[in-house]
A and B are shown apart, each in its own frame.
Chain A
Amino acid sequence: MVRLNVFIPLGAMFCLFSVIFSTPAPAEDPIGDGPQATSRFAGQVIGELSDAGLFPQSSVFFAEVNDPQALISLLLDHPLRERVESLEAYKTAITTPAYRQFSLGRMMVEGQLKMPWREALETLLGRGLAVGFDTETNGFAAILRGKDPASMKLLGDRLLEFARLTGNQDQITEGEYRGVPAAEVNNVRFAVYQDRLLITNRGDTGKWILDRMIDHLGAKKSPEADQQAPGGSSLLDNPRFQSFRAAVGPATQVHAFLDLQVLGQSPAVSAALRSQIGNPVAELLVGGVQSALAQAGWASAQLAADAESIKLSLSTPFELDSIPEQREYFFGPEGDGRGPILPQLPETIFTLSTYRNFADVWLRAGDLFDANVNDGIAQADASLTTLFAGRDFGEDILAAFEPEVGFVAIRQEFANTTPRPTIKLPAFAMVFELKEPATMKRELRRIFQSLVGFLNVVGSMNGQRQLELGSEGIGEGVEVITSSFVPEQEDIGSTEAQLVFNFSPSVAFRGKQFVISSSKSLARQLIEAPRPEPTGIQVNTSATLHAAGLQEILKDNREQLIAQIMLENGNTREEGSALIDLLLTAVGYFNETSFTLGHDDGTLKAVWQMKVLP
């Protein structure tokens, strides 16, 4: 009773906390990994260690790390760590006063906890971490599931001691709730129950979870009793959470759930999900996703990592009906819009393959954007229609292309050529398919020639270099129209030439395929490359950044980057060189990073993946 009285005032001021000393016998665990868990949550639990049942049904956000020890081990024992630690920059960094101060602090903590920090981390997080936010109690909570009850008790004691040593005694309050010792330090409440440490900022949230822990972990209630548990049903009873778990599938290392239905009741979130995006670029990037989210009940994130890659997947339920007509440009009218498969070229830096019907966006701009954007589009339409010899830009030009679009950027090779620009830019190109190549090829060739002429007139007024048109017939049905800047006397043989010598704008045709490129070499490579066969794993959008290509372009511009660092950071040349070398080394650790967006089996999924070199 005394204990309860102590807790209630604490609860009123959002209390809960401490390190608990009881060590109930570990037994079957209805919410955790015991046999009862499998009976109660059979077919529902993500992995066998889920603490989702300890959070209220009204939790709008929930995230769980199933095997933190494995993640810790992956991070700290990764081969990259050894390579990073062998770097001179690392050896220098650990001699800095800031690092020494950090080390001193770490040693203090280790001394207080009487164990190395890694062991402390593994003790605290050894068997799981769950965090959530409950809208009912407006509280955030984290449950750290440690190695075993005895270790957690010991660690809890030491943490509290550490808080006493380092903090203001007046800020520390200790009490009990239902026999569970709790403490509050600076408005953060702690309690240790069995092998779990609960941390929360709200007393009500803490009480709900602690009730749940005591009633289910301690009393070993039957699954049916859960329905009548104090405080009501848990997150496991939330149908959207159930749908999320069914979609996410079996064990993932880290997963997170967001209840969009609840979140959508907030006017701000509702407006964000339903109003016009207003920015054409953002609309093209995420317009369809916004529509999908507006109708979805939940969204999820999953993180998976191993020694060679890290992958973050974001998912949400997807129904084609949720995409309004004006946004059919995004996934296609049947929802089957897929980006094209692009050829793999040497020294590729970046590729983007996507399905976007630009003609639809242009023509439906009135439905997609506000008046300001539409004014801009109307002005652009008038100018572009003039530029394209009176042909309507939306109806005649954009609509002449299929919605499958590719973008490729590769490193340019300047080794044996002059004029060689001081700043070496990648070559880049867009790859389209023409709906009616027979008529459009001639039209596009003429437009390109007009553009080159226009650029020459403007350039000559500003004393710029002039473009010279050319053409290359590679084979039957293949044509490359090129242009290149004519070097002046001072440019001939120059290795510090102007930026323009990165460019030789060109277009290329082969059958339905149309390439517009910043360099004739890339145009030629793309048009000559064999068309890859569809693999069946095409997605709406995919983008890949290749570390090797990126590293090469950084090396090409090393001197420029050093100069930039010297001026921006006030570094000496030696310091600037060391920083760039460190950047080059760091980039060299990676293989590629990619992003895909697509839908399958009623789920819209965005996946970001980064691969490191073994």
Chain B
Amino acid sequence: MNLMNVEPSWAWAPYEPSLESPWNLSAAAHLFRRAGFGANRQELEDALKLSPSEVVADLVRAEETSDFQTEMQSLLRAALATGNVRQLAAQWAYRMLHTPAPLLEKMTLFWHGHFATSAVKVNDVRLMQTQNTLLRRHALGNFKELAIEISRDPAMLLYLDSATNRKSHPNENYAREIMELFCLGEGNYTEQDIRELARCFTGWEIKRNRFRFNRYQHDSGEKTVLGIPGVESGEEAIRVVTDDPNAPRFIVRKLVRFFVLDEPEPGDELLAPLAAQLRENAMDIGPTVQRILASNLFFSPLARGRKVRSPVELGIGFLRVFDGSTDFFQLADALDQLGQGLFTPPSVKGWDGGRTWINSSTLLGRANLIHRMLNGEKTRFGKQSLADYFAASGVDSIDEVADFLQSSLFAVPIPRPATERLRELARKNQDSTWVNLAVHAFCTLPEFQVA
């Protein structure tokens, strides 16, 4: 099967389990890995009692419970009170691990990479958290509304040096980024469009960390954006940009790369049905994401094991599969070292993802992260040691561990020689330490790096 030969109508049609492509633990684990951060054995088994499309619908519908929100509010208050971005990042890692709405959180992470803003430059945790809350509120909502609100977000405008925009000297920074990186992509606009769009944003300012519209600095002259004349305000301009036919295609391309496969780049023809749906839905993201996650292509071999685990997927996913918990400060630090610092993306382009997650340094760092989590004194799995967790799950031998990992954690088959080597390792370590050694050894295999 080759992506170039895939029929778009088949690709985005609902996945129907078959003998060749059964709805089993591996398939469910694939869905939860991509649509969230993995799932424990019970969640996977519960999912198998429903059809794939029902599970996807549940994931899209899932909301944070009020208890969970109250708990997160207390963590947020603490992080904001300290003013420490490290604590804010640890709080988000905690939220990702424990959220009852994993797709919502995964989409929040997606938008954080899309509308990338770094606390290193913004230097204000309250502004960073305000933006994060905004991203979560619109994560599966309407893209137009998200684009308008993010354009007035103080953290975003400070990050893009767009805190002032006067009619005498329109600031083109934000106008360029919204066209190139946020909505349309390169080649789908002209320099004149940028200049006109920048004029629409004149008078948009950040004063004392708040957005305000300074009508005296707004250019109220005639403006034409993307061929549409008579555009007056910044809000109108954003609607014009998000109404452009290139916008849905640009967004679905990113969504498909995020959820389905890193490479090859999907062609316009393949994306056309999704782009059309997004446009028909007035840029409501949820239905399109639901269609992607419930599609034939998503469950096909073209998607399974075709993404490199991001550091967040690696760290949070590892814990989530085993009902784990750990020192979230250390975890957030490790994610940063592996190139995916929460609240500190590397540039306005966000994370490149895919193969760029892996190099000789990060590969070692990934192995060390798993080792630290496995052996950290604060790490627990279901509030116990990993050996006890496995014992309570009826997983007693190296083969059973391999089976457990294969179905829950691995997207591609674990090589038989690796299992043989680990069988020997388990034989030499008769005490319970073999469990940690074995899991660490499995999780440093190249096969573990893909999801």
Contact = CB atoms under 8 A, between A and B. Distances in A.
Contact of B87 (A567, A571, A573): A567
A568 B328 contact: yes
Interface of B: 71, 74-75, 77-83, 87, 90-91, 94, 124, 208-209, 324-329, 378-380
Nearest to B79: A563
Interface string A551-563: 0000000011011
A467 interface: no
A463 B81 contact: no
A562 B71 CA distance: 11
A499 B329 contact: no
A409 interface: no
8 contacts: A463-B124, A463-B209, A563-B91, A566-B328, A567-B328, A569-B378, A570-B380, A573-B71
A-B residue pairs, 6 tightest by C-beta: A570-B325, A563-B78, A422-B81, A567-B328, A567-B90, A423-B81
Contact of A570 (B77, B91, B327): B327
B209 A422 contact: no
Nearest to B388: A97
A421 interface: yes
Contacts of B71: 573
Given A499-B83, A563-B75, A570 B90 contact: no
A564 B90 CA distance: 10
Contacts of B81: 421-423, 496, 498-499, 560
A559 B324 CA distance: 23
Residue among A421, A566, A572, A573 with most chain B CB within 10 A:
A566
Nearest to B378: A569
Interface in A358-372: none
Nearest to A490: B210
B133 to A, nearest CB: 15
B78 A559 contact: yes
Interface string A435-448: 00000000000000
Contact of A563 (B74, B325, B379): B74
Given A563-B74, A573-B71, A422 B80 contact: yes
B379 A570 contact: yes
Given A567-B87, A567-B90, A496 B77 contact: yes
Contacts of B75: 563, 566-567
A572 B75 CA distance: 11
A559 B77 CA distance: 9
Nearest to A564: B78
B325 to A, nearest CB: 3
Contacts of A499: 81, 83
Q: Is the interface of B mostly helix, strand, loop or mixed?
A: helix
B74 A568 contact: no
Interface string A420-433: 01110000000000
A571 B90 CA distance: 13
Given A564-B78, A570-B327, A570-B379, 10 more contacts: A463-B208, A499-B81, A563-B91, A566-B75, A567-B91, A568-B327, A570-B325, A570-B378, A573-B71, A573-B74
A573 B75 CA distance: 10
B74 A569 contact: no
Contacts of B124: 463
Contacts of A563: 74-75, 77-79, 91
Interface in A442-489: 463, 488
Interface string A573-595: 10000000000000000000000
A422 B208 CA distance: 21
Q: Pick from A499, A560, A563, A570 the residue with the most CB of B within 10 Å.
A: A570
Nearest to A424: B81
A581 to B, nearest CB: 16
A175 to B, nearest CB: 36
Contact of A568 (B77, B83, B324, B378): B378
Question: Residue among A422, A488, A563, A568 with the most chain B CB within 10 A?
Answer: A563
Nearest to B86: A567
Contacts of B83: 498-499
B381 to A, nearest CB: 10
Contacts of A573: 71, 74
Nearest to B82: A423
Nearest to A563: B78
Nearest to A569: B378
A568 B80 CA distance: 16
A512 B325 CA distance: 57
Contacts of B90: 567
B68 to A, nearest CB: 10
A571 B94 CA distance: 10
A524 B406 CA distance: 68
